[in-house]
Structure 1
Amino acid sequence: MRTLSVYIEIKGLPVPRRLHQEDFAQVLGIASVNKYEKNQEGYMKMLFDVIRSYSSDPVADSLKLWDICVYNYLVGNTDDHIKNLSLLYGEDLKSIRLAPAYDIVSTVIYKNSTEDMALSIDGKYNINEISRESFEKATTQIGLGTKIAMRRFDAMVNGFTDALEQAKRELEMCGIHQTDQIGDQIMEKGGIKKELHLTA
């Protein structure tokens, strides 16, 4: 198995290896001012349609994109707009994959943050109105197998508390404080609060 180095050498000096990345606003020809869905344009379906049309591994990337969408809801990231999701091109500019997740923050823990997601889920924007059922209905709209998608949804819900505790421990080891307070706010304001209640 060939490992791709993060650096290349130019004149004996290490230089970061760069790959071309294109966010979904660019891919879809949507102006950055419209990166947040507001009028039921169906951005989520558009994202999955792009993956099916252009990804070198559409099945794996569709599931990864689904996981990102679910995670954004659970953690309370309402800044999940289409410029925060991208395609990553291979060195030959022929292979195309969904880029790793980036710029994911629990925005709902901040006082002035909106509770409206940037992508509607089954036509709903407000995080407090979205539920497991919303995601289940969305699977049909985006063309993803409901059973496998919802198994992944449930696995993320069931593993959320342990993952949050692990993240808190790792941050504390790095000298970051108030992790308990931040964790409590995520559990109180993110979508996870509803799902843990429903699956309890």
Structure 2
Amino acid sequence: MTTGADLRDIDRADVYKGNVRAGSLTRSGDNVSFHYDDDYLARPGADPVAWSLPTDAVDVSVGAGSVPPFFAGLLPEGVRLSGVVAGMKTSEDDHFTILLGVGSDTIGDVRVVPHETELQPATLAFDPESPSPDLRALFDQLSGPDSMRVDTASLPGVQGKVSAQMYTSPVATTQGAAILKLAPPERFPRLVENENFFMAVAESCGLVVPRRQIATDARGVSGLLVQRFDGDGDRRLAQEDACQINSLYPSSKYRMKTETVLDTLASTVERGGGSARQAALELLRLTVYSYAIGNGDLHGKNYSIRRKTSGMWGVTPAYDLLCTQPYMGWNDPMALTFYGRNNKWSRDHIVDGAARHRLPRKAVERVLDDVCAGVRAATSDVESIGFDDKTTSRMTRFISARCDELSS
């Protein structure tokens, strides 16, 4: 097995699109460049590795130790990144080496491995049907110095005001690829239960969400297992988030505007054979729902599109949905503005903003009505999250008030 120290000495990587080698990444000093293979370009209908890397592009080169933005979007963040960096004995700005270590199982259908290295199947690390293991010990294995041995998947993490504290790591299970999420209960109580609850509510509001389950170990530590949706059996599906589509580095995820996200993702879906209007409405539904529940972490990496099994592109299932307010003093605005506002939205503000995207007023009002009805119906069940009575009561009032704003 190649060690972290060995990877620091490697200066060329093979880039696969699905199971076909499409190109290479080459490191020369602090510069990293991407180049398509001539054999790949000669294939009939060869797909680009990413929307920001068209097949007619010349070499794409960046400096300062970075990799091109699309590849940077494949790198882990937060706790996962810290563990991988420690295990590889490198630094967080050494993008190329980190990508060599975790790139064999990234989100989507692009994989990156050291030059002339064969692709390896994902390792099996967790059986959710067996007696639950020590979840924190498992996470330490997946994200600590041993993580390169147990599971080499890379998940672009959610690093924000609350969710940076969520321990998030990919994990292979007997039921398929999943994401394991743990929370530090001392600082962020009921974070796992919070997300599980609002993911379920999202479904009642018309959003598509992945399958998930809460696992609790013998010590009472809860983890949320969320099914990955970037594959169909053994087939991988292309997937990109708003930062990648806009050729932005992950550090820009809080500097985007919601209207830009809607425009660029919807137009990209249309280029991929899907419906721009349907995509924009689905993204708007996700945005409205996040506002209604007080989710202040809906940033640029939490809006994504994928290539469906039909070959057409569309919006991915929604993910990372929770009410961040209890952890942020009940004053957590939206991560991205929507036409100049990150708070104090109203029904008219949403309708007027959507009109700029040429979305039919009736369809937009239906989105608003669906979300408000679903969230209001859930207020009677907020206590099931497990917060104390005071927090439960305040959360109920908060989301009810948000629904009132979106109803008038």
TM-score of the superposition, structure 1-length normalised? 0.71
CA apart distance, 1:140: 1.6
Question: What residue in structure 2 maps to residue 71 of structure 1?
Answer: 289
AA aligned opposite 2:364: A
1:156 aligns with 2:371: yes
CA apart distance, 1:82: 1.3
CA apart distance, 1:39: 7.4
Task: Quote the Cα distance in structure 2 between the aligned partners of 1:40 and 1:84.
Answer: 11
AA aligned opposite 2:376: T
Question: What residue in structure 1 maps to residue 239 of structure 2?
Answer: 21
Task: Quote the Cα distance in structure 2 between the aligned partners of 1:83 and 1:65.
Answer: 13
Q: Aligned match of 2:404 in 183, 196, 199? A: 196
The secondary structure found in structure 1 opposite 2:264 is helix
Task: Quote the Cα distance in structure 2 between the aligned partners of 1:40 and 1:61.
Answer: 14
Task: Quote the Cα distance in structure 2 between the aligned partners of 1:48 and 1:35.
Answer: 18
Q: Aligned match of 1:132 in 341, 347, 350? A: 347
Write 1 or 2 for the structure with the bigger share of helix: 1
CA 1:180–1:66 in 2, change beyond 3 Å: closer, same or farther? farther
Query: Once the two structures are aligned, what percentage of the paired residues are identical?
Result: 24
For residues 4-153 of structure 1, the aligned pairs below 5 Å read 16=177, 17=233, 18-37=236-255, 42-54=260-272, 56-91=274-309, 94-111=311-328, 115-125=332-342, 127=343, 129-153=344-368
Question: What residue in structure 2 maps to residue 3 of structure 1?
Answer: none
Backbone CA RMSD of aligned residues: 3.4
Task: Quote the Cα distance in structure 2 between the aligned partners of 1:106 and 1:19.
Answer: 29
CA apart distance, 1:71: 0.1
CA 1:39–1:20 in 2, change beyond 3 Å: closer, same or farther? closer
Asked if 2 retains the 8 angstrom alpha-carbon contact of 1:37 and 1:120, the reply is no
Asked if 2 retains the 8 angstrom alpha-carbon contact of 1:76 and 1:108, the reply is yes
Question: What residue in structure 2 maps to residue 177 of structure 1?
Answer: 386
Question: What residue in structure 2 maps to residue 8 of structure 1?
Answer: none
Superposed CA deviations along residues 45-86 of structure 1, whole A, max 9, x for unmatched, are: 334333444352434333221211110110011111110111
The secondary structure found in structure 1 opposite 2:302 is coil
Q: 70-79 or 133-142, which moves further after superposition?
A: 133-142
Which gives a bigger RCO, structure 1 or 2 (Cα 8 Å, sep 6+)?
1
Task: Quote the Cα distance in structure 2 between the aligned partners of 1:91 and 1:147.
Answer: 30
Task: Quote the Cα distance in structure 1 between the aligned partners of 2:352 and 2:247.
Answer: 27
Asked if 1 retains the 8 angstrom alpha-carbon contact of 2:368 and 2:407, the reply is no
Write 1 or 2 for the structure with the bigger share of strand: 2
CA 1:40–1:99 in 2, change beyond 3 Å: closer, same or farther? closer
List gaps (5 residues or longer) in structure 2.
Answer: 1-173, 178-232
Task: Quote the Cα distance in structure 1 between the aligned partners of 2:340 and 2:176.
Answer: 45
Asked if 2 retains the 8 angstrom alpha-carbon contact of 1:122 and 1:135, the reply is no
The secondary structure found in structure 2 opposite 1:130 is coil
Question: What residue in structure 2 maps to residue 10 of structure 1?
Answer: none
The secondary structure found in structure 2 opposite 1:121 is coil
Question: What residue in structure 2 maps to residue 186 of structure 1?
Answer: 395
Task: Quote the Cα distance in structure 2 between the aligned partners of 1:155 and 1:61.
Answer: 17
Bigger radius of gyration among the two: 2
Task: Quote the Cα distance in structure 2 between the aligned partners of 1:85 and 1:25.
Answer: 9
CA apart distance, 1:44: 3.8
AA aligned opposite 2:370: A
